[in-house]
Amino acid sequence: QTSPMLADGTKIADLVLPATREVQMRVLSDPEIYELEMERIFGKIWNFLGHESEIPNSGDFVVRDMGSDQVIISRDKAGEVHVMLNVCPHRGMRVSVLDGGNTQIHKCIYHGWAFRPNGDFIGAPVEKECMHGKMMCKEELGLKKARVTLYGGLIFATWNIEGPSFEDFLGDAKWYYDMLFKRSDRGLEVLGPPQRFVVRANWKAAGEQSAADGFHTLTLHRWLGEVGNYAKKNEDGTSADLSPEMYGVEISSPHGHALRCIDLARKISRLTGLDPKELSVQQKLDALPPAGMHKDMVEQLARNLSPEQLQVLTTMPPQVGGIFPNVLFGFVYIPQPDGSVLGSLTLHAYVPRGPDKLEFVNWILAEKDAPQELRERILKQTIQLFGTSGMVEQDDSDTWPHITLSAKGAMGKKQTLKYQAVYETGAPEGWPGPGMVNEGFTKDDTQWHWWMYWRELMTSEV
């Protein structure tokens, strides 16, 4: 059942204040709130765990965290992907103590109970003597199984067996995510295992930023306009103002998902010397294929997407955003020193590891059909820019620990986070996509809607 109050009498609903769009800072450090999140959010929603291309063969498995629990993600002989709790039903030992591997038998190192890749109990050593099965039959002795969905190869799982479908969870955002994850015939795959590193920060400092915070780019990542090969330069070689990049279309979802669609017009006109308004969809695709796609692949788009999705993909495509609560995607167009543009595809999960610790997991993706040379360039450039070793997100992962420490201060925890920049524009005329859509300079709306869904989950029945 739901507790509407914290131990000190604070109503959970009052942690997020809709009248003034404020959030109590204590939510970023309070252990009691963290424990509730593990049950009410991560115990309930669809959790992103990885990509099926990480476990291509029968018996392949990886071990990941799903909220505060560890799970085994494995592929069985029939090719099905399973997600099950990595907790032995005998005495609670972790059944797998590895990060991943291949086996048809997951055998617990403590007393040797053994399980199939689908979690079913196989047997135990000297079973006749020690595991009579007098009280419980074999069917009851397997690993606890989660409900699993594959979406464009992405593996999501939930403990909420009877809860909403994955499609319901994505809602209107699916129309946009399909442009990224379901646009090609054979789909995406990972370029190697994910990078992982620990940041001493509350997961929500990163999670709410993943709800399409564009504003921080101007200050925190200001060097993007100033330094190195990637720097955006004006024609005369001076550093470019980044603020034009902050205009676009932002979409929020009642389920906390969010994305930023950024105008491609300037890139296309630079590449073609023409006004993009004069160009057909095909001409735009030829000039600038979607981030991560080779020009030979663009003919696949019309088979997989609607004409309306193609229109958005070639003018104002989703480039950064998040899947609630802790996933960030970037399908970003990176200007190259030679004037061309390279797409970079990355997915992050900010996995909670305690009130002041998160694990940053970074997958780099490529189209299965992309030529080797393009895959290598995507891998190299994405590693350079994003994730563990990247230049951009060293900035972000430096702020989150400071924010978390601020939220521990006797005075700091009484302060509020403020989401005051409100869109009043609505969707651009003729915008064909669904959702809560606004155009203009980036605002706080998408992150605010993220908090509103956090509040809804934290105050609703478990």
Residues at the site binding ligand FES, with contacts judged by CB under 6 A: 88, 90-91, 93, 108, 110-113
From the list Fe ion, ligand FES, none, partner contacted by residue 250 (C-beta under 5 to 8 A by kind): none
From the list Fe ion, ligand FES, none, partner contacted by residue 90 (C-beta under 5 to 8 A by kind): ligand FES
Which residue in this structure is represented by tokens 């869904």? Answer: 453
Task: Give all strands (DSSP E) within 46-186, no chain letters.
Answer: 47-51, 60-66, 69-75, 81-85, 100-102, 106-107, 114-115, 121-123, 147-151, 154-158
CA–CA separation, 163 vs 443, rounded Å?
A: 32
From the list Fe ion, ligand FES, none, partner contacted by residue 263 (C-beta under 5 to 8 A by kind): none
From the list ligand FES, Fe ion, none, partner contacted by residue 113 (C-beta under 5 to 8 A by kind): ligand FES
Least distance in Å: CB of 221 to Fe ion? 6
Take residue 40 and report the two structure tokens written for it.
């009410």
CA–CA separation, 138 vs 176, rounded Å?
A: 44
From the list Fe ion, ligand FES, none, partner contacted by residue 440 (C-beta under 5 to 8 A by kind): none
- Which residue lies nearer to Fe ion by CB, 157 or 201? 201
Sheet holding 147-151: strands in order across? 47-51, 154-158, 147-151
Least distance in Å: CB of 192 to Fe ion? 23
Task: Show the CA angle centred on residue 118, arms to residues 60 and 171, nearest 5°.
Answer: 90
**Nearest-CB residue for Fe ion:** 396
Distance set, CA 110 to CA 84, 356, 424 (Å): 19, 32, 60
Take residue 448 and report the two structure tokens written for it.
């605010």
Least distance in Å: CB of 350 to Fe ion? 12
Least distance in Å: CB of 241 to Fe ion? 18
- Which residue lies nearer to Fe ion by CB, 86 or 447? 447
- Which residue lies nearer to ligand FES by CB, 96 or 362? 96
- Which residue lies nearer to ligand FES by CB, 126 or 265? 126
From the list Fe ion, ligand FES, none, partner contacted by residue 396 (C-beta under 5 to 8 A by kind): Fe ion
Least distance in Å: CB of 206 to ligand FES? 34
- Which residue lies nearer to ligand FES by CB, 110 or 197? 110
From the list ligand FES, Fe ion, none, partner contacted by residue 112 (C-beta under 5 to 8 A by kind): ligand FES
**For the chain, how big is the Rg over CA atoms in Å?**
23
Least distance in Å: CB of 157 to ligand FES? 22
- Which residue lies nearer to ligand FES by CB, 141 or 173? 141
- Which residue lies nearer to ligand FES by CB, 97 or 462? 97
Helices 445-459 and 203-210: crossing angle in degrees, nearest 10, is 130
Straight-line distance from the first to the last Cα atom of the chain, in angstroms, rounded to the nearest whole number: 6
- Which residue lies nearer to Fe ion by CB, 222 or 270? 222
From the list Fe ion, ligand FES, none, partner contacted by residue 110 (C-beta under 5 to 8 A by kind): ligand FES
Return phi, psi of residue 344, to 5°: -125, 130
Least distance in Å: CB of 396 to Fe ion? 4
Which residues in this chain contact Fe ion in the complex, by CB under 5 A? 396
Task: Classify the C-alpha dihedral 309-311-313-316 as positive or negative.
Answer: negative
Least distance in Å: CB of 346 to ligand FES? 37
Q: Give the residue among 262, 227, 271 at the shortest CA–CA distance from 332.
A: 262
Take residue 279 and report the two structure tokens written for it.
């160009």
Sheet holding 22-24: strands in order across? 16-17, 22-24, 416-418
- Which residue lies nearer to ligand FES by CB, 88 or 206? 88
- Which residue lies nearer to Fe ion by CB, 100 or 335? 335
CA–CA separation, 48 vs 181, rounded Å?
A: 14
Least distance in Å: CB of 136 to ligand FES? 14
From the list ligand FES, Fe ion, none, partner contacted by residue 37 (C-beta under 5 to 8 A by kind): none
Sheet holding 121-123: strands in order across? 106-107, 114-115, 121-123
Least distance in Å: CB of 213 to Fe ion? 7
From the list ligand FES, Fe ion, none, partner contacted by residue 71 (C-beta under 5 to 8 A by kind): none
CA–CA separation, 162 vs 167, rounded Å?
A: 14
3-state secondary structure of 219: coil
